[in-house]
A and B are shown apart, each in its own frame.
Chain A
């Protein structure tokens, strides 16, 4: 079972009120997570297994795991596709996620809203990280390529 962590340093994520705000500095996209996405994110990004997170959510909402399982596997795929999560460093221990208060009320499917039109906010003079071996060549312009 793969464990995950926030895809730092590319991604900054923060729980604010009832929403998780995740900003992917690499893609220039921003993502908003709401409803049952919040407790799931809190657990999965802190090293819970996917099944354990689903079981906790089912328990707190008082519904069958089998009913919601598909929702969260599909949600997890979206998180991975958006590069918000990466495989957890094996040296990291699981942290306790304070997710319970976000499982209140009627169950609603995890919601991930993606905002892709943020490119105009990105620095005019972008800087890319490389290692010392891979010192890059000049980026080719359309004319040069």
Chain B
């Protein structure tokens, strides 16, 4: 059997295993979501999976009877008792931290991720992806905050979309992208803006449609703040969850659950702002060159997320060329921040 055929066979065995897991006595759930106006159907089999996968994308749930454009099947071995079928590679070496992209890019992609151990196999010509997780209790806060990111990141490329490492907030029509590396103030600016009346689209990963007039979509309704930062937002501290307190990860706030009126699913993107903590009292917006805007957007996006889209940097360059960029100097008086962003948004 060729390696293509053996992987195809493995795919169908994985699908059968999912069916067996779904027939076990564990929790089973199927929901539809609209991601950038395309229907994705997610089937879960296993205790505890729904609390990890669904809350972050709850705002995108739709009640759909048509055929979805992508189906994702996920099962957990520990709670269902259904193991992964024998893979077409040496199963004794399963503890790798690896990714394998099969030479036929439309057909298969397999990932194993560190201690969390999961495998994703996609038959993109059938628009189906199957995920096996060895033990769902071995998840990180990142899995709650941005579930299935590795799948969405690849899938959206086919539709002229991309996921950038950026926060995003908006008013009724427009939005600004908030870019920069970790610690630059993206999350704080995004969450603070939502608390002060602006619409929330993201604090970390924003889904973009790369048109001449780009569109921002809210993919995950989660916000994340370091525990130390949370003390500055007492109203959020009591809402935050921390599934893995021992790992020193950022606690998560499901914005849809607690601030449903503040979530915007889609907005026209009008500007890019790069926050910088200055230590001064006053906050202000200073115009950035297109090149500096691109650097702020592209470096953290590509180095954090990578991309299988060869044109991703070019597409981000297009966004930086077409939209004005600003450095947002974050002052210690945080009450000035939202009015500055609001004023900028209202100018479009």
Contacts and interface: CB of A to CB of B under 8 A. Distances in A.
Interface of A: 8-9, 12-14, 16-17, 19, 21, 23, 25, 28, 30, 118, 120-132, 135-139
A21 B290 contact: no
Interface stretch (B170-178, B257-265, B300-308, B332-340): B300-308
20 contacts: A9-B308, A9-B310, A12-B310, A16-B290, A16-B291, A16-B320, A21-B298, A21-B313, A25-B306, A120-B181, A121-B181, A121-B300, A125-B97, A127-B113, A129-B101, A132-B100, A135-B89, A135-B98, A136-B98, A138-B96
A45 to B, nearest CB: 13
B93 A125 contact: no
A90 B304 CA distance: 32
Contacts of B142: 124-125
A16 B178 CA distance: 21
Contacts, number: 106
Contacts of A16: 290-291, 294, 317, 320-321
Interface of A is mostly: loop
Interface in B92-114: 93, 95-102, 111, 113-114
B343 interface: no
B182 A127 contact: no
Interface in B58-95: 88-90, 93, 95
Interface residues of B, number: 42
B326 interface: no
B95 A137 contact: yes
Query: Which 9 residue pairs across A and B have the least CB separation, nearest first?
Result: A138-B95, A121-B303, A136-B96, A12-B313, A127-B99, A14-B313, A135-B89, A135-B93, A23-B302
B303 A127 contact: no
